[in-house]
């Protein structure tokens, strides 16, 4: 399942890739929302779909799940949060 999610996360040009990623996320074992890597990938899908507020809430949840002192993926999570915030800001300024 992780490999499928990873492929959908990387496949930005896939038809309905973001929607498919979100659908897989709703299945066990991911439905619990406790896997920070899955949440990270979900954030990218939500960002691609323009669901910025939900994406920010999800990335914040992933950051909360990061164990103290674990810097292995912190930079990736922080970068995704910046991308979401920037995309949301751009979208709001265009409207």
Total domain count, the chain: 1
Q: Is the pTM of this model over 0.75?
A: yes
CATH number for 58? 1.25.40
> 24 is in which domain, residue-wise?
2-94
CB within 8 A of 29, min separation 6: which ones?
Answer: 1, 35
For residue 49, the model assigns a pLDDT of 95
| Helical spans, DSSP H, in the chain | 2-10, 17-25, 36-48, 52-65, 74-94
| Closest listed residue to residue 17, CA positions, set 61, 47, 55 | 47
Q: What is the pLDDT along the chain (95 residues), one digit of tens a residue?
A: 888 888 888 887 888 989 999 998 888 888 788 899 999 999 999 999 999 999 999 999 999 999 888 888 999 999 999 999 999 999 999 98
- What is the length of the chain? 95
pLDDT value of residue 39: 94
């Amino acid at each position: 399942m992780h490999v499928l999610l990873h492929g959908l996360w990387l496949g930005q040009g896939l038809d309905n890739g973001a929607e498919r990623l979100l659908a897989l996320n709703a299945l066990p074992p991911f439905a619990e929302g406790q896997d920070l890597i899955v949440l990270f990938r979900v954030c990218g899908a939500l960002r691609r779909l323009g669901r910025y507020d939900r994406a920010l809430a999800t990335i914040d949840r992933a950051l909360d799940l990061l164990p103290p002192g674990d810097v292995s993926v912190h930079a990736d999570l922080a970068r995704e949060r910046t991308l979401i915030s920037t995309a949301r800001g751009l979208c709001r300024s265009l409207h």
